Amino acid sequence: MNTQITWYGHSALGIETSGYHLLVDPYIHDNPAANIALEKLRADYILVSHGHGDHIGDTLAIAKRTGALVITVNEIAVWLRNKGIKTHGQHLGGGFKHPFGYLKLTLALHGSGLPDGSYGGNPAGFLLTTLEGKKIYMAGDTGLFGDMRLIGEEGVDLALLPIGDNYTMGPDDALRAVRLLQPRHVIPIHYNTWGLIAQDPQAWAQRVQAETQAQAHVLQPGESFQLS
């Protein structure tokens, strides 16, 4: 069975794997790039990489409507739990066997303040191993770091990497990240949401194809990629 990844613009993702619906960083309502109604999103689980508004996004509203379990770093888990949301707190380097697969939190070089100014702990990325053994690395918001090589050693099937620059890696460093991670497939995210992070994803994808072994896939908001 395939795992299907849908990009909703910016860093918002839907993952359908073994019958489970996951949302990652569901920034939808205020996301200029998103073209799906918030009410249409299905979620059994919501993964939140860090506390910034363009990542925690509509987590509260979706979790309240769907009853989804929110998986995130412990500080954000406590913040959400105090608002009546079901959460599972993890932390960097820690993995847990959830019903949908094994999820490990990875390092991210970034900040993580919550929208109300609360402390959100450290930002994270995610390494998901599906029940079928496929590995999906979602970098979150991060700058380039050399330990991406360690993540690559696990054998990454698909990497989702920010290329927007200014707040995260730009195209050049994202290309270096592909060399460290050596994924089979890569999808660029966190670009063109606003002018400040405008990039040409096709030009980046061509460089990936020419200079690395990875296959690059540029998605339109709402478009899906089948990982097999």
Beta carbons of 62 and 46 less than 8 angstroms apart: yes
Residue 52 in the binding site for Ni ion (CB under 5 A)? yes
Cα–Cα distance, 206 to 217 (Å, whole number): 10
Give the H or E element holding residue 130.
strand 124-130
Residues numbered 137 to 176 that lie near Ni ion (CB under 5 A) are 141
Q: Name residue 168's amino acid.
A: T
Q: Cβ of 225: how many Cβ atoms within 10 Å? A: 17
- Whole-number minimum distance, CB 67 to Mn ion, in Å? 26
Closest distance to Ni ion from the beta carbon of 55 (Å): 6
Q: Which stretch binds Ni ion (CB under 5 A): 93-101, 133-141, 184-192, 214-222?
A: 133-141
> What type of residue sits at position 47?
L
Residue 157 interacts with Mn ion (CB under 5 A)?
Answer: no
Distance of closest approach, residue 52 Cβ to Ni ion, in angstroms = 3
Tell which one of 8, 22, 54, 152 touches Mn ion (CB under 5 A): 54
Segment near Mn ion (CB under 5 A), from 53-61, 88-96, 197-205, 211-219? 53-61
Taking a C-beta distance cutoff of 8 angstroms, is the pair 122, 73 a contact?
Answer: yes
Count of residues of this chain found to bind Mn ion when the rule CB under 5 A is applied: 2
Shortest reach from residue 56's CB to Ni ion, in Å: 10
Please, what is the minimum distance in Å from the beta carbon of residue 55 to Mn ion? 6
**Helix, strand, coil share of the chain (percent; to 5):** 25, 30, 50
For Mn ion, the binding residue among 75, 141, 157, 165 (CB under 5 A) is 141
Burial of 220: CB neighbours in 10 Å, binned 0-12, 13-18, 19+: exposed
For Mn ion, the binding residues (CB under 5 A) are 54, 141
